[in-house]
């Protein structure tokens, strides 16, 4: 059944009901142009490279509920380059076991780890060449991950952004959008694009009692036609018969479906405003008789041995392209394991699902050119949900099991921006799979949902600068087959923060216990028959300790002379499953400084005088560097001032930017670097800033002494005691320059010689030597004449036996005197028409002393009588010589009448970009009288200013019929003219003009002149026009609207009667 929804709306009461029903939501961004005619696009978006590019970004968004700086969020990710703990894998040089051990985790934390993240996250992505038709890509738009949200669908609708919310008062569910059956080694596509009318009644007779409210907001930019899949539930789309559309535009719509039971909303939009949003609101449910357990209890008894498992009449869900040998080898390994175990179809699916969840790592984003890449997951060891779903489908297809890839979504993050005021959950796009399970008689069957992506049970979102909260990305959907795995790692060492729990080399032993849990049940063997063999490793020492293959597997060990002092990250892993714990090794450290610094170091005292000091922290037993630890420095009992975080790098060297406290004695001293024994245990993840510290009792150390020469420093200041606005000195004033000379510790210097210097364009002036008083102060007063330059440099210096010091400043000098301004006669004739004529303006600003900087000064034009400003800011700016020129347009808001216009300088100077008000320097020019008039306008309607009139009939009129000439009379500012006479005229083919009649305008400025065509009227083309006479322009202040008397405003004769019979 096809439902037409043209102009369908919902009432206020229904909206309120929907809002009350909504308590949980999911948010998604989905391609909008789908299945149907894409207009200029010319191809199915879901089969395009754009989907591949875009879904990489969509898949990453739900990773964390992050509220900090996004650039910081991406800059600190790290990721292993291989499977570091698989025994038969050679360790690469750049091998790095990731850090996932946390201190002070939430009490209900289940021992899970966050996902690994690739190291390099790009700022944007490249849109494939030729994807957008010419002219469709908006100029200047950055195709970044954020801009990608606007490129979801580019059919006739233009750029579309789509969000969907689903309430979750019932159980959480996975949501379907559509499925794919064919893989071409770079993308999954649909081999059958047939669509049918959606029939509400052609569904299960046993719908579930669980009803979900779906609310979708779709933002469009223009009219057009297009389609998009809408969220629905497995196994088939159960949409209640209440889909409503809330829209400001006219919409014709229908629901369609396809062979995979997807539901498609197909719409044509017209009469739409620009950039508008529509809402789709409907209820969804599912067939409650179809469950994983019902499918399993009634499935075919055939074991998996290569026998095909197909839906009736098709084998297309077993299609496999030619794959990379590395993928083929992995498939063969899994297939052989399945065949050797003699597993049935259902358990084969679960066994292969377990293989993916334990061998490979889920990430939210992978930077590559293809969204689906079978080789990447096997080669890199990690991938997105698209990689897991794609490869899982291919592995099952290699065993002749019909499988298809599903594009849908899951939700777990609260969304305060949902359509209701409730806390709702947004949908995050996700790929998973559906496997065909034949029934016991192999006459039918069902598609079973399986999600092979090993998304962590818990991840963490930052809620403050040093805090984080768990979020739950896994959906507890009992209608989705998926396992969750946790590797638990415990040690026999209590809280590592206490020195009593720290171990010593070669004498103290530790013990690690590792267990792998499948849905909270410990396991010792995989479903494919492989014994779970744990790899134990010391991340800090970068060594593998050994292996153990039992439940509650134990590894006992101790630190030796090759072990690095400080906290150790100890790790247990089974392929991609891993966990860490911290154990601390007690021991001494050492610091080396002499090889890295000059001897002696020379430094002045004072916070403003800094120098660099290098120190290396290392373990004296192993000789290895100690990185990421803070160092300090001191001279005898005085700590040096640290101007930067003095943290050791990967080589153990800290570059210390230091200053000498003014209380340190001058002369030669011994300085040293020190380590207080506190190690930093840092997180490698910017989104989890839980940096911890631990004190190791034997670790504090101090370096050998290093010679430093501490010198005295002298400080000199320079001020002026006369306050002027923005430090601009006004001419014809006295200015006192003064300052103080002190030692670096603040002690004043008496009788210190100070030289004061003054420089402008005329040269440099030395005012002589002045001596400080007992308080260290000096001063000098000078007079700024009328003719002084506008800018000067001032400095003072002192030379003592302790050293030389100079201080300088820059001052601006401005004019104090009266200026003069001249405005030339504009010479505009008898009058100017406002908002129509341009008035030429010329003039100049001058300084009687020829000393002021006259450039870049603002000039205003004002009415002498009212003081009204009739020019805008920036209209008239003086050039380098004080001249100003330009044109003045009288705006419509200026009343008509006579004006005495003058040029004015208000005394506010532009002093190198700084406004300085000197009222005494303001000036006004002589005035010039100008008459400002308005225009009368004969128009068709009041919304236009184009001179015109209406004629009915428009083209042909018969003898004896009435001709109506009508329109409106107004003035240029929109005011209608009431009770004014308008005349209508006709120019005959022989050039004779006759009057057709006249009429007075009514209260809305409307006139209508009716003319009955007489029997002796000549035939042929004729011209109709109207005119209005405003009278004496010097009293009415209005121009006439007539074609003959005032042609520049009377171009009204633009309509022709073609024939009169």
We report the CATH number of the domain holding residue 534 as 2.60.40.10
Mean pLDDT over residues 282-311, rounded? 93
Q: Specify the DSSP class assigned to residue 1018.
A: P
Contacts of 788 (CB under 8 A, 6+ apart): 731, 760, 813, 851
pLDDT of residue 346: 97
pLDDT of residue 414: 63
Residue 675 lies in a domain: yes
Q: How far apart are CA 410 and CA 562, in angstroms?
A: 48
Least reliable range by pLDDT among 499-513, 568-582, 584-598, 719-733: 719-733
Query: Dihedral sign, CA of 659, 661, 662, 668?
Result: negative
We report the CATH number of the domain holding residue 802 as 2.60.40.1930
Tell me, yes or no, whether 1039 and 977 share the same domain.
yes
Residue 249 lies in a domain: no
- Predicted model pTM: 0.61
pLDDT of residue 684: 55
pLDDT above 60 (res 61): no
Mean pLDDT over residues 657-665, rounded? 91
Query: Dihedral sign, CA of 892, 894, 896, 898?
Result: negative
Q: Specify the DSSP class assigned to residue 1056.
A: E
Residue 139 lies in a domain: no
Greater confidence, 914 or 856?
Answer: 856
Residue 417 lies in a domain: no
Tell me, yes or no, whether 614 and 687 share the same domain.
yes
Tell me, yes or no, whether 667 and 735 share the same domain.
no
pLDDT of residue 475: 64
% residues pLDDT > 70 (the chain):
76
Residue 392 lies in a domain: no
Judge whether 584 and 503 are in contact, CB under 8 Å: yes
Mean pLDDT over residues 503-526, rounded? 93
The CA-CA-CA angle for residues 705, 711, 714, to 5°, reads 150
Note the pLDDT tens digit of each residue in 340-375. Answer: 999 999 999 999 999 999 999 887 667 666 668 899
Q: Where are the beta strands (DSSP E) in 416-499?
A: 424-438, 445-450, 459-464, 467-471, 485-491
* Three-state secondary structure call for residue 765: strand
pLDDT of residue 19: 24
pLDDT of residue 683: 67
Mean pLDDT over residues 998-1012, rounded? 94
**At 723, is the pLDDT very low, low, confident or very high (cuts 50, 70, 90)?**
low
Tell me, yes or no, whether 825 and 807 share the same domain.
no
Q: How far apart are CA 841 and CA 843, in angstroms?
A: 7
Among 645, 679, 711, residue at a domain's last position: 711
Residue 111 lies in a domain: no
pLDDT of residue 784: 83
pLDDT above 60 (res 313): yes
**Helix orientation angle between 325-341 and 385-397, rounded to the nearest 10 degrees:** 60
Note the pLDDT tens digit of each residue in 705-714. Answer: 999 999 888 8
Question: Which two tokens mark 584?
Answer: 């601390």
pLDDT of residue 229: 86
Note the pLDDT tens digit of each residue in 921-937. Answer: 889 999 999 999 999 99
Tell me, yes or no, whether 981 and 1040 share the same domain.
yes
Note the pLDDT tens digit of each residue in 212-263. Answer: 888 888 877 667 777 788 889 999 878 887 788 988 888 889 999 988 889 9
Mean pLDDT over residues 421-433, rounded? 73
Tell me, yes or no, whether 575 and 610 share the same domain.
no
**At 492, is the pLDDT very low, low, confident or very high (cuts 50, 70, 90)?**
very high
pLDDT of residue 40: 25
Tell me, yes or no, whether 831 and 773 share the same domain.
no
Mean pLDDT over residues 298-327, rounded? 95
Residue 395 lies in a domain: no
Tokens 């034009």 map to which residue? Answer: 861
Residue 662 lies in a domain: yes
Among 711, 746, 762, residue at a domain's last position: 711
pLDDT of residue 214: 85
pLDDT of residue 415: 65
The whole domain housing 827 covers 820-926
% residues pLDDT > 90 (the chain):
41
Tell me, yes or no, whether 731 and 785 share the same domain.
yes
Rounded alpha-carbon distances, angstroms, from residue 476 to 473, 830, 1003? 10, 86, 72
pLDDT of residue 73: 27
Least reliable range by pLDDT among 110-124, 529-543, 866-880: 110-124
Tell me, yes or no, whether 577 and 599 share the same domain.
no
Q: Name the residue among 254, 58, 46, 252 with its Cα closest to residue 153.
A: 46
Judge whether 947 and 967 are in contact, CB under 8 Å: no
pLDDT of residue 494: 86
Give the number of domains in the chain.
Answer: 5
Among 553, 569, 585, residue at a domain's last position: 585
pLDDT of residue 111: 36
Judge whether 591 and 579 are in contact, CB under 8 Å: no
Least reliable range by pLDDT among 351-365, 508-522, 1047-1061: 1047-1061
The continuous run of DSSP H or E covering 379 comes out as helix 374-380
Tell me, yes or no, whether 952 and 967 share the same domain.
yes
Tell me, yes or no, whether 798 and 850 share the same domain.
no
Note the pLDDT tens digit of each residue in 634-653. Answer: 998 899 999 999 999 999 99
Note the pLDDT tens digit of each residue in 126-180. Answer: 333 333 333 333 333 333 222 222 233 322 233 346 777 777 567 788 889 889 9
pLDDT of residue 42: 24
Mean pLDDT over residues 939-946, rounded? 86
Question: Which two tokens mark 483?
Answer: 């396992």
Average per-residue pLDDT for the chain: 77
Note the pLDDT tens digit of each residue in 522-548. Answer: 999 999 999 999 999 999 999 999 999
Mean pLDDT over residues 262-285, rounded? 84
pLDDT of residue 1053: 30
Mean pLDDT over residues 944-959, rounded? 82
Q: How far apart are CA 399 and CA 334, in angstroms?
A: 10
Mean pLDDT over residues 790-798, rounded? 84
pLDDT above 50 (res 113): no
Tell me, yes or no, whether 945 and 1035 share the same domain.
yes
Judge whether 556 and 547 are in contact, CB under 8 Å: no
Question: For 163-200, what is the HEC assignment?
Answer: EEEECCCCCCCCEEEEEECEECCCCEECCCCCCEECCC
pLDDT above 80 (res 427): no
């Amino acid at each position: 059944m096809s439902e037409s929804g043209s102009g369908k709306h919902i009432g206020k009461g229904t909206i309120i009901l929907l809002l009350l029903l909504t308590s949980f939501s999911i948010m998604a961004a989905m391609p909008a142009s789908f299945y149907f005619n894409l207009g200029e696009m010319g191809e199915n978006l879901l089969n395009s490279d754009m989907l591949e590019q875009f879904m990489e970004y969509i898949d990453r968004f739900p990773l964390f509920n992050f509220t900090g700086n996004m650039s910081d969020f991406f800059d600190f990710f790290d990721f292993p380059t291989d499977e570091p703990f698989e025994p038969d894998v050679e360790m690469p040089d750049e091998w790095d076991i990731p850090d996932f051990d946390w201190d002070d985790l939430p009490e209900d934390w289940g021992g899970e780890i966050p996902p690994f993240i690739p190291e390099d996250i790009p700022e944007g992505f490249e849109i494939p060449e030729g994807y957008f038709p010419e002219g469709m890509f908006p100029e200047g738009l950055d195709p970044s991950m954020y801009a990608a949200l606007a490129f979801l669908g580019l059919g006739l609708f233009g750029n579309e952004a789509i969000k969907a919310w689903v309430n979750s008062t019932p159980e959480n569910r996975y949501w379907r959008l559509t499925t794919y059956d064919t893989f071409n080694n770079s993308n999954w596509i649909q081999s059958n694009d047939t669509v049918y009318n959606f029939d509400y009644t052609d569904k299960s007779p046993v719908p579930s009692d669980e009803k979900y409210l779906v609310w979708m907001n779709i933002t469009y930019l223009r009219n057009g036609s297009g389609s998009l899949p809408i969220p629905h539930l497995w196994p088939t789309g159960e949409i209640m018969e209440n889909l409503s559309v809330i829209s400001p535009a006219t919409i014709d719509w229908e629901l369609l479906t396809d062979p995979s039971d997807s539901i498609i909303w197909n719409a044509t939009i017209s009469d739409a405003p620009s950039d508008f949003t529509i809402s789709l609101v409907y209820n969804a449910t599912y067939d409650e008789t179809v469950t994983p357990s019902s499918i399993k209890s009634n499935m075919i008894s055939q074991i998996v041995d290569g026998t095909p498992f197909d839906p009736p009449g098709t084998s297309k869900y077993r299609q496999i392209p030619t794959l990379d040998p590395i993928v083929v080898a992995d498939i063969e390994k899994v297939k052989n394991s399945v065949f050797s175990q003699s597993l049935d179809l259902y358990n084969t699916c679960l066994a292969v699902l377990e293989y993916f969840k334990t061998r490979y790592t889920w990430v939210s984003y992978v930077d590559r050119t293809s969204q689906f890449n079978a080789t990447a997951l096997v080669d890199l060891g990690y991938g997105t949900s698209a990689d897991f779903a794609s490869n899982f489908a291919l592995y099952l297809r290699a065993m002749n099991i019909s499988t298809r890839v599903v594009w849908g979504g899951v939700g777990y993050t609260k969304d305060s921006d949902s359509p209701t005021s409730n806390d709702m959950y947004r949908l995050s796009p996700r790929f998973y799979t559906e496997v065909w399970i034949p029934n016991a008689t192999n006459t039918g069957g069902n598609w079973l949902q399986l999600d092979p992506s090993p998304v962590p049970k818990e991840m963490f979102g930052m809620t403050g600068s040093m805090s984080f909260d768990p979020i739950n990305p896994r959906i507890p959907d009992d209608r989705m087959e998926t396992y969750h795995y946790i590797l638990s790692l415990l040690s026999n060492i209590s809280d590592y923060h206490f020195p009593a729990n720290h171990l010593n080399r070669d004498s103290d032993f530790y013990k690690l216990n590792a267990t792998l849990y499948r849905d909270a049940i410990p396991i010792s063997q995989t479903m494919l028959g492989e014994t779970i063999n744990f790899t134990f490793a010391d991340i800090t020492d970068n060594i593998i300790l050994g292996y153990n293959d039992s439940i509650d597997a134990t590894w006992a060990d101790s630190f030796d002379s090759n072990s690095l002092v400080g906290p150790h990250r100890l790790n247990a892993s089974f392929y991609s499953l891993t966990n860490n714990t911290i154990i601390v090794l007690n021991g001494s450290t050492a610091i080396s400084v002499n090889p890295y610094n000059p001897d002696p170091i020379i430094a002045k005292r004072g916070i403003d005088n800094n120098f660099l000091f290098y120190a290396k922290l290392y373990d004296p037993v192993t000789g290895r560097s100690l990185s990421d630890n803070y160092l300090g420095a001191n001279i005898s009992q005085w700590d040096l001032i640290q101007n930067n975080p003095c943290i050791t790098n990967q080589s153990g060297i800290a570059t210390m930017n230091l200053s000498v406290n003014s209380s340190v004695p001058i002369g030669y001293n011994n300085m040293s670097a020190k380590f207080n024994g506190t190690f930093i245990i840092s997180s490698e993840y910017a989104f989890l800033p839980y940096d911890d510290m631990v004190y190791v009792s034997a670790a504090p150390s101090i370096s050998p002494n290093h010679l430093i020469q501490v010198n005295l420093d002298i400080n000199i200041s320079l001020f002026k005691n006369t306050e002027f606005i923005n430090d601009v000195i006004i001419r014809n004033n006295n200015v006192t320059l003064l300052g103080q000379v002190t030692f670096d510790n603040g002690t004043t210097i008496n009788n210190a010689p100070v030289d004061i210097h003054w420089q402008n364009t005329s040269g440099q002036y030395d005012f002589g030597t002045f001596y400080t008083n007992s308080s260290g102060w000096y001063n000098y007063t000078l007079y700024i004449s009328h003719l002084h330059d506008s800018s000067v440099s001032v400095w003072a210096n002192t030379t003592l036996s302790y050293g030389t010091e100079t201080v300088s400043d820059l001052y601006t000098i401005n004019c104090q005197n009266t200026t003069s301004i001249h405005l030339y006669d504009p010479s505009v004739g008898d009058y100017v028409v406002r908002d129509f004529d341009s008035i030429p303006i010329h003039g100049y600003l001058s300084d009687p002393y020829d000393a002021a900087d006259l450039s870049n000064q603002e000039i205003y034009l004002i009415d002498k009588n009212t003081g009204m400003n009739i020019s805008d800011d920036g209209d008239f700016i003086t050039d380098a010589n004080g001249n100003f020129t330009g044109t003045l347009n009288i705006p419509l808001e200026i009343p008509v009448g006579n004006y005495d216009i003058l040029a004015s300088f208000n005394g506010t100077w532009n002093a190198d970009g700084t406004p300085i008000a000197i009222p005494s320097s303001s000036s006004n020019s002589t005035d010039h009288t100008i008459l400002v008039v308005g225009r009368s306008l004969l128009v068709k309607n009041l919304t236009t200013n184009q001179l015109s009139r209406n004629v009915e009939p428009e083209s042909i009129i018969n003898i004896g019929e009435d001709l109506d000439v009508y329109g409106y009379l107004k003035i240029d500012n929109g005011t209608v003219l009431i009770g004014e006479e308008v005349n209508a005229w006709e120019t005959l083919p022989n050039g004779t003009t006759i009057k057709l009649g006249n009429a007075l305008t009514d209260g809305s400025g409307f006139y209508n002149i009716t003319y009955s065509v007489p029997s002796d009227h000549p035939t042929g083309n004729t011209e109709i026009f109207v005119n209005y006479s405003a009278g004496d322009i010097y009293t009415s202040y209005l121009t006439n609207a007539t074609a003959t008397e005032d042609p520049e405003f009377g171009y009204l004769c633009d309509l022709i009667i073609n024939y009169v019979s």
